[in-house]
A and B are shown apart, each in its own frame.
Chain A
Amino acid sequence: MNATAITPSEANSGMNVTVAAQMTGADILKLRKKRGILIWSLVLAIVPLLILYIAKAILHSSNPAEHGPAGGVPGFTDGVRLLALFFGTLAAVLVGAEAGAGDISAGVFRDLVVTGRDRAALFASRVPAALVVMWSIAIVGYAIILLASFLFAGSLPTPSLALVLNGLGFVLLADGIVCVLAVAFGSLTGSKPATIIAMIAWQIVASPILASIGTLGSAREWLFSQAIIHFSPVHFDGARGETIAMGLGMALVVLIVWLAVFLALGAWRTRTMDA
């Protein structure tokens, strides 16, 4: 390997589709090989669903008069609720935190900066990579929901094709938004533990409590978890504390504002931090 003179074409002059795809592929590789995160994310996305359907199936078989079949539309609704609003979002936090703060935690962020590649590009490639991994996990979970909904439907109606597609879209939207927020927050803090703790505390504790405080009135519409529920194709009673009614436009605005603010903060921190 002999050094040659510098040429303009070799300079990291800008992004193109090939470079962006390679960088995203590299970020997917990092996440894919982080076995601990991957296994725990799969466990969170899948095991609660298995427990749900197995428990319901046992109850139904032991007392069919008291407990309906595990599947059908009711079983589908329960599964979607678990995957989109509870355990799937926990998995999304794990994946997003790793994608956002993994390079900084491992101490390799500076080696990526030294390549001359724009820091904004380094940040941007984390987002699609985290989404690809998270959505792959969510799809596995959703497949279990569908399998159980049809397999254990018994006398109950099964989800229509439209409901199946809408349900998939909702799961991907809900888990995807939490995942992207976790990527951005991880990039902002540079710390995986801090990101995971803060995001889960917000999702599991703070957000439902805030939603149930009536005196907050319409301010509760600004909780992104409430905006996400608006897009659900199935009805959740008390899914995350109290469910706040809002219009489609408001729900879209809330989600866009959350994403825009967090992505801007994550990108800003990535661009300005001492590496």
Chain B
Amino acid sequence: MPANDHPLSSAPGAGPAIQTSGLTKRFGSRAAIDNVDLHVPRGSAFGFLGPNGAGKTTMIRMLLGLTHASAGTMSLLGRPVPAERAQALSRVGAIVEEPRFHPQLSGRENLRIVAAARGPATRDRITPALRRVGLSERADEKVKKYSLGMRQRLGVARCLLADPLLLILDEPTNGLDPGGIQEFREMIRSMVEEEGRTIFISSHLLDEVEKICDHAAIVDRGKIITQGAISELAEGSTQHELIVGIDDPERALSVLAGCEWARQSQRSDEGLRVVLADIGDMSAAAGAAAINTALVDAGLAVSRLEPVRQSLEKRFLEVTSRLSDSTVEEVKA
């Protein structure tokens, strides 16, 4: 069942998993989070993507009531925060930064501590939660003997005590080995696809977000640059590129050097890679056709003409570097 078709995703009166409007956090005169409007749909794995220091953890800390917002409104699971914070958080699980525990206690005892704060019904969820993350066998060992991967899994188990509709995970794969990352990724996807939970993951790892998430927001210097479905974000790039298979690449390069539709051309393993020029309202398809015509008119045999699929990484670098450029220009002005 697709995540968005799960009954939880359309629970009556539920509202989005996370919604913020004009959310701002200032430290003195510096805005760590600046007027952020965020919309996280239910039943999705949502990536909150940004470079280190972009404000991701500050955003999460505000959502969870760990620090106060300077301005703006927010809601979790349709409940306004902080007005109905207790009700909202009763079905939210979170790992903020690295998961921390009392090292002198066992994994199970650490869960008992949190279960006591969550309420009487929660205690019955300890054993299933430990089983769910694969820690049943070592639940009674002291946490100080756990590896980082085991602590991450125990952190997820702690989240599951809330039977969460929403999990908020801050850089969850930090420090995990490749096997651990793969396990973690599968666990997250199954929570979304099979259990209908919403997962909000902050990360600076583009590849990670692209593999786990179906929606994302790109944040930089406290501002949301763009947000939406991963596929839409990647395709939202203003830079269109073509792979061109050609019989005589050298001559093709000289032809394209005089072609107004090609902004940049270079040889590659596949033949040529051509970045299309940004000409008025011209579509990428029209640009590709113009390139093809120019090459064929020059007597070259075109065997392949394929648009390059834009990755989230490329989009990310594009929008964040654009922001840097504009900031530099503002400073110069």
Chain A positions within 8 Å of B, measured between CB atoms, are 1-6, 8, 10-13, 18-19, 22-23, 25-26, 29-30, 33-35, 102, 106-108, 110-118, 122, 274-275
Report the Cα distance A211→B262, complex, angstroms. Answer: 89
Partner of A116, one of B89, B103, B104, B195: B89
Assuming the A-B contacts A3-B164, A3-B165, A114-B96, are A30 and B113 also in contact, with contact meaning beta carbons closer than 8 angstroms in the complex? yes
Is there contact, CB below 8 Å, between A111 and B8? no
Question: If the complex has contacts A3-B163, A34-B104, A106-B100, are A23 and B66 also in contact, measured as CB distance less than 8 A?
Answer: no
Indicate with 1 or 0, residue by residue over B96-115, a CB within 8 angstroms of chain A CB atoms. Answer: 10011111110001101111
The reply on B280 being an interface residue by CB < 8 A is: no
Residues in chain B near residue A108, CB distance under 8 A: 100-102, 110, 113
Residues of A close to B71: CB separation below 8 A: none
* CB <8 Å contact, A106 and B87: no
Give Cα distance in the complex from A117 to B123, angstroms: 15
B175 / chain A contacts, CB cutoff of 8 Å: none
- Among A3, A110, A274, residue most surrounded by chain B Cβ atoms (within 10 Å): A3
* Residue in contact with A35 in the complex, picked from B67, B104, B116, CB distance below 8 Å: B104
Is B139 positioned at the interface, with any CB of A under 8 Å from its CB? no
In whole angstroms, what is the CA distance A29 to B108 when docked? 12
User: What are 9 residue pairs bridging A and B, where the CB atoms are less than 8 Å apart in the complex?
Assistant: A3-B8, A13-B87, A30-B104, A33-B102, A106-B101, A106-B102, A115-B89, A116-B88, A275-B67
Cross-interface CB contact of A19 among B90, B112, B120, cutoff 8 Å: B120
Q: Which residues of A contact B128 (CB under 8 A)?
A: 1
A115 close to B109 (CB less than 8 A): no
Give the residue of A6, A18, A110 whose beta carbon is less than 8 angstroms from that of B66: A110
Among A30, A115, A118, the residue within 8 A (CB) of B105 is: A30
CB-contact partner of B91 in A6, A34, A35, under 8 A: A6
Question: Number of B residues whose C-beta is below 8 Å from A?
Answer: 53
Distance between Cα atoms of A113 and B113 in the complex (Å): 12
In the bound complex, what is the Cα–Cα distance between A116 and B117 (angstroms)?
8
Give the residue of A2, A8, A26, A107 whose beta carbon is less than 8 angstroms from that of B117: A26
Point out the residues of chain A lying under 8 angstroms from B11, CB to CB. Answer: 5-6
Residues of B within 8 A of A33 (CB): 102, 104-105, 109
CA distance in complex: A26, B120 (Å): 12
CB atoms of B116 and A116 under 8 A apart: no
Which A residues are in CB contact (< 8 Å) with B195?
1-3
Q: Using Cβ atoms and an 8 Å threshold, which residues of chain A touch B88? A: 116
Chain B 48-96 interface residues, beta-carbon cutoff 8 Å to A: 61, 64-67, 77, 85-94, 96
From known contacts A1-B195, A3-B197, A4-B163, infer whether A116 and B114 are also in contact, taking CB-CB under 8 Å.
no
Q: Which A residues touch B96, using CB under 8 A?
A: 110-111, 114
Give 7 nearest A-B pairs by CB, closest first: A116-B89, A107-B100, A26-B116, A11-B87, A22-B116, A116-B86, A275-B66
**Closest A residue, CB atoms, query B94:** A114
Q: Chain A CB within 10 Å — which of B88, B92, B113, B195 has the most?
A: B113
- Pick the residue among B66, B121, B123 that contacts A10 (CB under 8 A): B121
Judge if B18 is at the interface, Cβ distance under 8 Å.
no
A48 to nearest B CB, angstroms?
Answer: 26
Q: Closest Cβ of chain A: how far from B189's Cβ, in Å?
A: 15
Residues of B within 8 A of A110 (CB): 64, 66, 96, 100
- Chain A residue nearest to B88 in the complex (CB): A116
CB distance from A273 to the nearest CB of B (A): 9
Give A10 to B163 CA distance when docked, in angstroms: 10
A8 CA to B103 CA in the complex, in Å? 34
Nearest residue, chain B, Cβ from A5: B11
Cβ-based interface call for B158 (8 A): yes
Least distance between B120 CB and chain A CB atoms (Å): 5
Residues from chain B with Cβ under 8 Å of A22 in the complex: 115-116, 120, 123
CA distance A141 to B23 in the complex (A): 56
Q: Does B129 contact A (CB under 8 A)?
A: yes
Residues from chain A with a CB closer than 8 A to the CB of B118 are 12, 115-117
Which residue of chain B has its CB nearest to the CB of A22?
Answer: B116
A113 touches B65 (CB 8 A): yes
The smallest beta-carbon distance between A99 and chain B, in angstroms, is: 13
Bound: A12/B119 CA distance, A:
7
A52 → chain B closest CB, angstroms: 32
Alpha-carbon distance between A240 and B13 when the two chains are bound, in angstroms: 65
Taken together as a complex, chains A and B put the C-alpha atoms of A122 and B66 apart, in Å, by 14
Closest Cβ–Cβ distance, residue B324 to chain A (whole Å): 29
Q: A106-B101, A110-B96 known; A274 and B160 CB under 8 Å?
A: no
- Which one of B77, B90, B197 has the highest number of Cβ atoms from chain A below 10 Å of its Cβ? B90
Q: A residues within 8 A CB of B93?
A: 114
Instruction: Give the shortest distance, in Å, between A105 (CB) and chain B (any CB).
Output: 10
